[in-house]
Each structure stands twice: as C-alpha cells, then as structure tokens.
Structure 1
Amino acid sequence: MEITFLGTGVAIPQKGRVQSGVLVSLEEKPLLIDCGSGVLSRFPDAGVSHTNVDTVLLSHLHLDHVADLIPLLKANWLRGKTDMRVYGPDGTEDWFSRVLGAYEYILDGVDVDVIELSPGKEFTPEGFDCEITCAATDHSVPTLAYRVTAEDGEFVYSGDTAPCRDIMDLAVEADLLIHECSFPAGTKVTNHTTPSTLAEMLEDYNNEIGSICLTHFYPEMRGHEKEAIHRLKDYVEGEIILAEDLMRLEL
C-alpha cells in the first residue's frame, strides 16, 4: 500500500502546500481521500493519471476538502472517463447535486454514484480489496474519520477534528494514523488539533498506535514542526512524520 500526500495545507494559501488530498494505491488502484483546491494539479507531479480515479472518500464538505472534486470530474469527462463513486458524510448527496446542477453541460454526461456514510459503518468500495470503517470526529460540521484495512497494512485518516476518543479507538493497532495538526502548541482553538491537545489524548493509549503522520497545517505551524515531533514522540511505537505535498509513505 502506497500513500501519497497530494495536499497537506488548508484554506489559506501557502507556498508548497495545496489543500487537503491523500491518494492511496491499493494494488495499484487509486483511492482518493478528500479533494481540496490544488489537488487536481498535483496528479502530474505524482505521476498518476487523474482518469484512473473513480472512487473518492470525502471526510466532510468544507471547501478545502472538496473544491477540486467537480474539476476532477470534469477533467475525467474531457478524457472520456464518466463514472465515479463518491462516499461522504450526511449531506454529501444534497451538496453534490446542487453543485453539479450548476453545470448542465456536464450533468447529463457523467454517471456519479453518491453514497452517504455514518459513524460505525463498515464497507468495501466497489473494485477494491479492502475494508473501510467510519468514525465520528469532533468538528464543526458532520465529519468522518476512516480506517482503511488491506492485506498489506492499516491506516486511519482523521479528517478535520479536535482530538477525540472515537478516532483514537479507531486507530488502535493501526500501522499509521494520519492526523490533522492545524496549529502549534498553546493556540486556543476548537474543532482542530495542536500537538499538546493530541498528546493529552494519546496519554491514555499506551503506545497502541504505530506511527503518526501530521498534516493539515495552517501557516502558523511553520517553524514549529520540531516542537510537534518532540511533544508527541513518546506516545507512539513508531515515528512522528510531518507530511509534505507529494510525500510518499509505504505500508
């Protein structure tokens, strides 16, 4: 299993970081998790054709996680790829139909199946040999974390969230937890994570999580990366990794 970070940033522009998107290669078949602005343009740099993507998981519907979904659908359509499955939390179907409905010239030419998910749901996406489990997060809108379990590894993607037990429980014995870390320690923030608030949650888990990869960095995190590693390194068996755009991890 190969994980490529297409975007590790947020809604505020930053040099070298576009908005959220993670591409997972499962036996060479790509699964895209989130599709924020700039993610589509990362495909050539990642050496992956966008037309290979026919399955997308959305953690939630904030723009920095969905803004390039319709552009991806259009890019595929322009190359003759018209089918797609989109999984997401409650409200995804209504949001998708409203946005796509503004583009009638695409609407009749594509075949998109939207599947809404709820916390606790377990499913296998069509065409994949893996199991995905959903959990609720602590964010300002309905948001899902995902655990992807395949023959060669298991990882959890937190989506946007304050640290919460549902995600930590989902990540127990996983090889990797991809967790947002929006702001540096000491920042007063709700709905998001700092190294300190994540460490406080991890104290109860006795190194039950393999490695942690931090992502979803606001500009305020620049210069505080080493502090984050130092704050968290005693709470996991493996590494603390700082995600960068186009970084690849192998499980």
Structure 2
Amino acid sequence: MEITFLGTGVAIPQKGRVQSGVLVEFEEKPLLIDCGSGVLNRILEAGVRHTEIDTVLLSHLHLDHVADLLCLVKANWLMGKTDMRVYGPEGTEDWLFDLLGLYEYILEEVDVKVIECSPGKEFVPEGFDCEISCAAAVHSVPTLAYRLMSGEGEIVYSGDTEPCRDVLDLAVEADLLIHECSFPAGMKVTNHTTPSTLSDMLDEYRDEIGSLCLTHFYPEMRGHEREAIYRLKGNFDGEIILAEDLMNLEL
C-alpha cells in the first residue's frame, strides 16, 4: 500500500500546500480520499494518470475537501473516462448532482455513482481488494473518518475533526493514523485539532496505533510543527510524521 499526500493544507492559500487530498494505491490501483482545490494538478505531479482514478472517498463537503472533484470528473471525461464512484456522508448525492446539473453537457456524458455512507458502514469498493469502514468525526457538518484495510496494511484517515473516541477507536491496531492538526497548541478551537487536544486523548491509545501522520495545517501552524511532535511524543509511543505535499509513505 502506497500513500501519497497530494494536499496537506486548508482553504487559505499557503506556499507548498494545496487543499486536502490523499492518494492510496493498492497494488498500483489508486483510490482518492478527498479532492480539494489543487489536488488535480498534484495527481499529475505525483506521476499518476488521473484517468486511473475512478473511486473517491469524501470525508465531508467543505470546499477545501471537494473543490476539484468536478474538475477530476471533467478531466477524465475529456480523456474518455466517464465512470466514477463517489463515497461520502449524507448529502453527497444532492450536492454532487446539483453541481453537475449546472453543467448539463458534462452530466449527460458521465456515469457517476454516489454511495452515501453512515458511521458504522463497512464496504468493499468495486475493483479493490480492500475493506473500508466508517466512523463519525466531530466537525461542523456531517463528517466521516475512514479505515482502509487490505493485506498490505491498515490506515485510518480522520477527516476534519476534534479529537474524538470514535475516530481513535477506529484506528486501534491500524498501521497508520492520518489525523488533522489544524492549529498550534494553546489555541482554543472547535471542530478542529491542536497538538495539545490530540495529545490529551491519544494518551489512552499510545501503544495501540502504529504511527501517526499529521496533516491539514492552517497558516498558524507554520513554525510550530516540531513543537507539535514534541508535545505528542509524551503521550504516543509510535512514530510521528508531518505530512508534506507529494510526500510518500509505504506500508
């Protein structure tokens, strides 16, 4: 299983970080998690053909996680690839087809299937030798964390969330937890994570999760990345990684 961080930023532009997107390849077959602005170009920069991507998991429908999805659908269609399966939380189908309805010339030419998921759902995406399960995250809109399990390894992607037991329980015995870390320690925030709020809860899971990779950095995090690692190391036994755009991890 190869993991490529396409976008590790947020809705505010930052040098070197586009919006959210992670590519997971199972025996070279790619599955995309989230598709924020800038992700389509990052797919190219990662050396992957966008027409190979026909399955997308959406954690939630905020623009910094979905803005390039329609761009991906159109780019694939222009290259003769018309089918796409999109998994996401409640509301995904209405959102996507309302958007596609603004561009009837695309809607009439593509075959996009939306599968809405709820916490606790388990499924095997068509064409993949992996199982996926969902848990509820804590954010301002319905948001899903995903666990991807195959013979190559197991990873969990938190989506946008405050630290919560449902997501950390989902990550127990996973090889890697990809967790948002939007703001530096000491900032009072809701719906997002800081190193201090994550550390407090992670202490209960310190030896139950393989490695931790932090992503989804707001500009306020610049210069505080190493501090985040230091704070988390006190309550977590595994490796702690800071995600960068186009960084690769392999399980």
Q: TM-score range by the shorter chain?
A: over 0.9
Pairwise CA RMSD:
0.7
Residue 245 of structure 2 is matched in structure 1 by 245
The residue identity in structure 1 corresponding to 2:121 is: K
Which residue does the alignment assign to 2:215?
215
Q: For 2:44 and 2:206, locate their aligned partners in 1 and report how far apart those are by CA, in whole Å.
A: 41
Is the contact between residue 203 and residue 236 of structure 2 (CA under 8 Å) also seen in structure 1? no
Length-normalised TM-score, structure 2: 0.99
Deviation at 1:11, TM superposition (A): 0.1
Kindly tell me the number of residue pairs found equivalent between the two proteins.
Answer: 251
Deviation at 1:237, TM superposition (A): 3.2
Q: Which residue of 2 aligns with 1:47?
A: 47
8 Å Cα contact 1:208-1:236 kept in structure 2: no
1:78-113 Cα shifts (integer Å, max 9, x gaps): 000000000000000000110010001101000000
Aligned to 2:160: 160
Aligned residue identity for 2:165: R
Q: Write out aligned runs for 1:183-202 (5 A).
A: 183-202=183-202
Partner of 2:229: 229
Task: Give the deviation of 1:235 after TM superposition.
Answer: 2.9
Task: Structure 2: give runs of 5+ residues left out of the alignment.
Answer: none
CA drift at 1:238: 2.1
- TM-score, L = length of structure 1: 0.99
Partner of 1:75: 75
Matches of 1:32 and 1:151, distance apart in 2: 19
CA distance in 1, matches of 2:211, 2:122: 23
Secondary structure class of the residue paired with 1:5: strand
What corresponds to 1:24 in structure 2? 24
What is the CA–CA distance in structure 2 between the aligned matches of 1:206 and 1:243, rounded to whole Å? 20
Q: Which amino acid aligns with 1:4?
A: T
CA drift at 1:43: 1.4
Using the TM superposition, give the Cα deviation of residue 44 of structure 1 relative to its aligned residue in structure 2, in angstroms.
Answer: 1.7
SS in 2 for 1:235: coil
Distance in 2 between the 1:205 and 1:128 partners? Answer: 30
How far apart, CA to CA, are the structure 2 residues paired with 1:104 and 1:81? Answer: 17
In 2, distance between residues paired with 1:246 and 1:143?
Answer: 24
- What amino acid is aligned across from residue 222 of structure 2 in structure 1? R
Of all paired residues, the percent bearing the same amino acid is 80
Superposition deviation, residue 234 in structure 1: 3.2
